[in-house]
A and B are shown apart, each in its own frame.
Chain A
Amino acid sequence: MKLRSVISWEFRHTIRSKQFLLLSLLIPAIATIAIVVASSAEGASRAMAEPPPPFIIALILAMILFMGAFLNGVMALYGVVKEKQSRVVELVLSSISAREMMAGKVIGLGIAGLLQVVVWVIAAYFVARQFMPISLASLTLVHWITYPIYFVLGYLLIASLYAAVGAVMKDVQSGGASSMVGLIPYLPIMFVAYIVEHPDAVLVRIAGFIPPFTPSVMMLRIGAVPLVSEGMRQVPAWEIGLSIVSLGLGVWLTMRFAARIFEIGLLMYGKTPSPRELWRWMRAKRAP
């Protein structure tokens, strides 16, 4: 009930903000560029007449996911830091638990962000059609089922990570080591080429089960496996299942972790804690 209030407040609060409008324009611009770049890099050899393979779509989706999650994650982070500075948190935490506040913020902002992203994915589809004979027929049932799951869970994971980072930040200027945490999920993007060419490599398969990497790695694998293995073979169902379970678990743990950081970090005004202090907080006894 209260969680719903928080979600609805954060959602309304977000979609009315100027930053949100700005992001709404930024994301399609980036998506368009991504499409143009992807089609030209791949284009020469494979000829534009051919429908692009699903991994291109996976790549675009992964990019949009990360752009959206990154920008909205940063918004969540700013929001948290601002609430901390204006001491709104004190009043909020005297009404609801840190976990409710955290979850409400992540989900509320997440819904706003996802809505934004969905609109732009649809727009990107129509833009992409101008450049390549993109067809939804290249997507199989596996894509339709798994991509939205990875997308939403990946989004929640990143947003909670950012909210946790915001909770320990003193002000928006001081990033420090803690803000690097938010970059972890982006690591696989650096290895896109490798993942697409070797979607069955042991390292890639293992990375697919490690929550912060799961969404991008698995989306790319599912897109690339049928292509590389010259057949209709797909990533084994158990791997997909396990990766989703582990991602779900990862989201849950990150949210818990973030809520704990929230509980303590939000009220530590005026200083950014060291990793050692953070560890001490985590182990601090919870009140009965």
Chain B
Amino acid sequence: MTQPVLEVTSISKQFESVRAVDGVSFDVGRGEILGYLGPNGAGKTTSIRMILGIFQPDEGEIRIHIDGHSGRLLKERTGYLPEERGLYADATVLDALAYFAELKGMRRADARQRVIQWLGRLDLLDWQNKKVEKLSKGMQQKVQFIAAVAHKPDLLVLDEPFSGLDPVHQDLMKDVIRELRDGGAAIMLSAHQMNQVEELCDRIFLIHHGRRVLYGRLDDIKAAHGEHVVRLRFEGTAEGLANLPGVAELSIQGDRASLRLERNASPDVFVRSLPAALTIREIVVTRPPLHDIFVRTIGREDNEAA
């Protein structure tokens, strides 16, 4: 296996009496998106700040490997979108962004040119000479994103990239993030929108109370948590569905039924056993959405702790 770009080994951070991060390890490789998830206050932002060198971990080690260079921090090759927007409010969009790209080691002329390209890509060209404070929340989020990516980072850390964006721009953001991944960037992404995470991420790390709860490939996690879920619309009566092989739970509301299969039950066995008498208008057989896994796992953890 090739060397990961970001390698985090059992980092911990204590604040007063709270152990914000407790022995967390993971890695992110080239051309990969790792979803870094957890409820509010779980330790996500603290972990991210340690990776960016804003805090030092009390214990553990963080290494970054890019093109044969290794180090604790490779600031010029790293891009960061902080959770809270922070840009010089009284500077113009172009000036502020070019300055941040300069701080990443770009020459001023190149920086301005690259920033203009990005402003074009994110529909902000008309705003380049406006002051940052005049922009709407969503626009500021896009501007902040450009500050993270304009210097073509090899490691990109995105804390809540979708916050404040409308659905159209959420999709645009998703496309851009995918492009960056396909271009070889290692991306660590923290977000609360599970549907977005599901569409983007190759692997997931779920943190709760500072500790690892889940870590692995999205598909594997889904398989492990994976009683299949079936949703269908029908004509006729659907009560008989409860007796089909592998059905653990059935609920019917009007012409919609939703079923949960037993763990290990095979969806094709279930589908083949559907009665011919039942007219099916729509059917979806799927693993439970990440949202459900997230909520259930965190809930279970909290019950065990209580």
Point out residues on A near B: beta carbons under 8 Å: 1-2, 5-6, 9, 13, 17, 83, 86-96, 267, 287-288
Pick out which of these stretches binds chain A: B78-86, B213-221, B257-265, B280-288. B78-86
By the criterion CB–CB under 8 Å, are B86 and A96 in contact?
no
CB distance from A102 to the nearest CB of B (A): 14
By the criterion CB–CB under 8 Å, are A5 and B99 in contact?
yes
By the criterion CB–CB under 8 Å, are B90 and A17 in contact?
yes
- Give the size range of B's interface with the partner: 20 to 34
A157 to B104, CA, bound (A): 28
B89 (CB) vs chain A CBs: closest residue: A86
Chain B residue numbers with a CB within 8 Å of A94 are 52-54, 75, 78, 80
CB distance from B86 to the nearest CB of A (A): 3
A109 to B162, CA, bound (A): 36
Query: Is B135 an interface residue when CB atoms closer than 8 A count as contact?
Result: no
By the criterion CB–CB under 8 Å, are B55 and A2 in contact?
no
By the criterion CB–CB under 8 Å, are B72 and A288 in contact?
yes
Chain B residue numbers with a CB within 8 Å of A88 are 86-88
Chain B residue numbers with a CB within 8 Å of A9 are 99, 102
Chain B residue numbers with a CB within 8 Å of A5 are 99, 102-103, 108
A284 (CB) vs chain B CBs: closest residue: B56
By the criterion CB–CB under 8 Å, are B53 and A93 in contact?
yes
By the criterion CB–CB under 8 Å, are A96 and B91 in contact?
no
By the criterion CB–CB under 8 Å, are A87 and B84 in contact?
yes
CB distance from A214 to the nearest CB of B (A): 34
14 pairs across A/B with beta carbons < 8 Å?
A: A2-B103, A5-B108, A9-B99, A83-B88, A87-B86, A90-B54, A91-B80, A91-B82, A91-B87, A91-B147, A93-B53, A94-B80, A96-B103, A267-B54
CB distance from B52 to the nearest CB of A (A): 4
Q: Which of A1, A13, A88, A89 has the most CB of B within 10 A?
A: A88
Chain A residue numbers with a CB within 8 Å of B105 are 1-2
CB distance from B69 to the nearest CB of A (A): 16
CB distance from A51 to the nearest CB of B (A): 46
